Amino acid sequence: MPTMKNFLQSSLNRSAVIILALVLMACVAVAAANWYQTRQRAASTSSTATPDTEYAQLQFVDGQEMNGTNVTLSADVNQPPAMLLPLKTISDFDATDSATTAVITTSRGPITLQLFAQQAPLTVANFVSLARAHFYDGLHIHRVEPGFVVQMGDPLTRDTTDPATLSTMGTGYPGYRLADEFGPGLSHDQAGIVSMANINADGNYPNSGGSQFFITLAPATYLDGRHAIFGQVTDGLDILEKLQVGDEIVGVAIK
């Protein structure tokens, strides 16, 4: 017959086992919750980009790409250096800085643009002036977002073809900034729309265009009123779709 001592010891052992089991169950529950949250975060970051996130990726502020998580305008950015550059308006361009056609010759082939000189005279004059000065010759594509845009025109890309280095670029300027110009009837409503990159996020930094521009690979009408459209691809969409980070702009011919 078990003694009182044995009985108490057995009870204590059972209690210890129960407590241990409860602790293990709690640990498993915490681990499961952490695993679920990790999976949710991973699913969120790998999901299809929304218009807002795609728009944010076009922006850069003070050397950082805007992605909605690494920049808080009020806390991290006082005044982007680009906003200290002189502002050019239409009066700063020669009257001959106008044209209706441009051909961007890339290392993968030519892309022909119709320029909207009537609807966007300032932005076209800026592009034509830079092209005639051979500003774009030898620059490299620094951003390709399949199904969204191809972006180019950063002077910092001239001396490198390394995709890893180029992917960090996108902050170069031609020595000035450009006033915004939103021509009537123009929309990012199809692939092949040519438009100015800028650092304007939600109205914080207007008039911040320069030399960089992007060409849409799909409709992106949520960019309307945010980026200045100045042209459209009329030939070479197949070339545009083949462009990769590191490809070269051999030259831009104005016709």
| Residue ranges covered by each domain of the chain | 1-47, 51-254
pLDDT tier for residue 17 given thresholds of 50, 70 and 90 = low
* Contact status, residue 129 vs residue 97, Cβ threshold 8 Å: yes
Whether residue 132 lies in the annotated active site? no
Whether residue 214 lies in the annotated active site? yes
Whether residue 34 lies in the annotated active site? no
Confidence at residue 153, expressed as pLDDT on a 0 to 100 scale: 97
Confidence at residue 234, expressed as pLDDT on a 0 to 100 scale: 98
Q: Which of 58-62, 91-95, 113-117, 214-218 has the least mean pLDDT?
A: 58-62
Domain 51-254, CATH among 3.30.460.80, 2.40.100.10, 2.60.120.620, 3.40.91.10: 2.40.100.10
Q: Which of 60, 116, 214, 230 is catalytic?
A: 214
Q: Which of 217, 223, 240, 243 is catalytic?
A: 223
Confidence at residue 43, expressed as pLDDT on a 0 to 100 scale: 41
Give the mean pLDDT of the chain: 81
Whether residue 151 lies in the annotated active site? yes
* Contact status, residue 198 vs residue 209, Cβ threshold 8 Å: yes
How does pLDDT run across 19-51, given as a tens digit for each residue? 666 666 766 666 665 655 555 444 433 334 455
Whether residue 140 lies in the annotated active site? no
Between CA 149 and CA 179 the distance in angstroms is 22
Rounded to the nearest 5°, which phi and psi values hold at 232?
Answer: -150, 140
Confidence at residue 81, expressed as pLDDT on a 0 to 100 scale: 85
Task: Evaluate if pTM is beyond 0.95.
Answer: no
In this structure, what token pair is assigned to residue 104? 């961007």
Q: Bin 143: left if φ > 0, else alpha if -120 < ψ < 50, else beta.
A: beta
Q: Is 149 exposed, middle or buried (0-12, 13-18, 19+ CB in 10 A)?
A: buried
In this structure, what token pair is assigned to residue 254? 């104005």
Whether residue 126 lies in the annotated active site? no
